[in-house]
Structure 1
């Protein structure tokens, strides 16, 4: 599994959007995970996301990931539409998935307003597709980063991926020598997937925000840089990584920067607002680190937007290291 290239998205997706609407404020675009639609009360943010690989906590992750996309645009997630596709009639699986959906939605204050459930021949595992909606006082795009802005990362790289490794691959981890206590702590990272609290703090000041998911923090940075037409340079040592994440990634041979990244929020803020933003997050118990400074795109015009990470330049989607573990 991998994401389509920006060129393919432009050709086959972003250019084919049906009837034009004056109410559409922000539509499909590379790196933009949610749309903005004008409504009588202001702005409605809408996002949809599928999930299929994290078998143990698919319902919990589905709600968190869908709502994160709305929150990362400055919205307040309020409503959720849930589509559940099962490989075969399986009441036990359906019971577990809907219990997870219900519990996580209630925890985050989100109402499940509808959806669709059916069995589909040919599926290897359950597939969820969740659409989340909510109002925004100030829509914050992925594409708003400006040269000179500080790049903030909350919490750390690979939080979602660590939790999935701890549950879907526990036997492999323990066989490789990772102790059970470390795996248990890592599985607890499922409680850290939502970025609603930091989004509330950063939305009033951020020029851009983005929720890194597939491809991890590295891919999230690439999407933000390319959407904004800027350059972001950083090294691995600049990015916070929890000790449990490091241990599990080393055992499974994956890079914390390139695994499922929900649980972290990327944001750019004006340089003179960075210290205050970090302090405000700290006051809410949220760790945040300035990992880079936004730069002008390449002077030679070779790239409208890119990330230079440990000396290597990235201008397109980064494949998630975890995909190979399920193949």
Structure 2
């Protein structure tokens, strides 16, 4: 039986990646482990496309749908430009729910300069919550294309913002009353407001101008799974330092309350970057000039079987999360 969340890598190889239809002559990059977008050759420019559903949230679902898909496109160095969306509503849904979702998509698209160009809406029997599936298209000059599998042994790993950012915002919204009783209104409101930082479009476009080898948006499974996905894509291992991965107070407290691992909590809003060591400080400085915090948390290593986290001076394997911690709560 398959677990909730992303399909395990071995099942993707067994069932999905050997059933991808015809080979596209202009496809520069397509589906694979750790690769969240496709790149298609359009001559001097490259079209980058990505699709993702939003299934673990109800509040702010339109906002998440647009921004999560924009993030995946931006990790290829492309500016998000065109969005298609399918909105599946549960039986009995009121007009106001559809209006709320579309308002969130519209406002988010305006903020990023994205045009909503198509999609589908329906009421779907059997659903308990709405599901929104988005597809984002973006464009980048060919010589600025960055692919998810471009990390090299010796590259440093840079992470922007904080681990578990998106998951913290979702849990604070979905379990608001319970958390307010435990931690008070101020902390819960701060946690909810983290949704405003979910975009990594600026993080990515700034970084690619400085010079990086790969970027990745750690969604389901959080920073831990994101590290494995980047390493999978490049055929590498990694070594990271737990104390260098920044985690906000709100995330620590909420994860502690529910017994969750913040490193395996959905982390849209963070950007993971593989950068040549000589470019690391330039990347971090460029990000900080735009008020985006970032830090070096480790490095990629040649042995793909060695994937370590250093805690209190001791190295131990960092396991791949079986599913996202969010599913234990919502």
TM-score by length of 1: 0.94
Q: Does 1:116 align with 2:120?
A: yes
Q: Report how far residue 282 of structure 1 moved.
A: 0.9
Q: 1:173–1:252: 8 Å Cα contact kept in structure 2?
A: no
Q: Are 1:134 and 2:138 an aligned pair?
A: yes
Q: Tell me which of 38, 41, 44 is aligned to 1:38.
A: 41
How many residues are matched? 320
Indicate whether 1:79 and 2:65 are aligned: no
Residue 49 of structure 1 pairs with residue 55 of structure 2: no
Aligned residue in 2 for 1:149: 155
SS of residue matched to 2:228: helix
Q: Structure 1 unaligned runs (5+)? A: none
> In 2, distance between residues paired with 1:65 and 1:200?
15
Q: Does 1:28 align with 2:31?
A: yes
Q: Which residue of 2 aligns with 1:284?
A: 290
Structure 2 residue ranges without an equivalent (≥5): none
Deviations 1:66-106 (A, max 9, x none): 10000011110000001000112421211111111111111
Let me know the Cα RMSD of the aligned residues.
Answer: 1.5
Partner of 1:250: 256
Aligned-partner SS, 1:282: helix
Name 1:190's counterpart in structure 2: 195
Describe the superposition over 1:176-225 as per-residue Cα deviations: whole angstroms up to 9, x where unpaired: x2110111111111110000111011124111100001111111111111
- Cα drift, residue 247 of structure 1: 2.0
Could you tell me how far 1:38 is from its partner in structure 2?
Answer: 0.7
Q: Which residue of 1 aligns with 2:105?
A: 101
Equivalent of residue 322 in structure 1, options 301, 321, 326:
326
Q: Secondary structure at the match of 2:62?
A: helix
CA shift in 2, pair 1:148/1:185, >3 Å: same
Q: Is the 8 A contact 1:222 1:317 kept in 2?
A: no
Aligned-pair distance for 1:308? 4.1
Name which of structure 1's ranges 227-236 and 159-168 shifts more when overlaid on structure 2. 227-236
User: Residue in 2 aligned with 1:174?
Assistant: 180
Q: Distance in 2 between matches of 1:216 and 1:132?
A: 21
3-state secondary structure, aligned to 1:160: helix
Question: What TM-score do the two structures reach when normalised by structure 2?
Answer: 0.93
Match of 1:207 among 199, 206, 213: 213
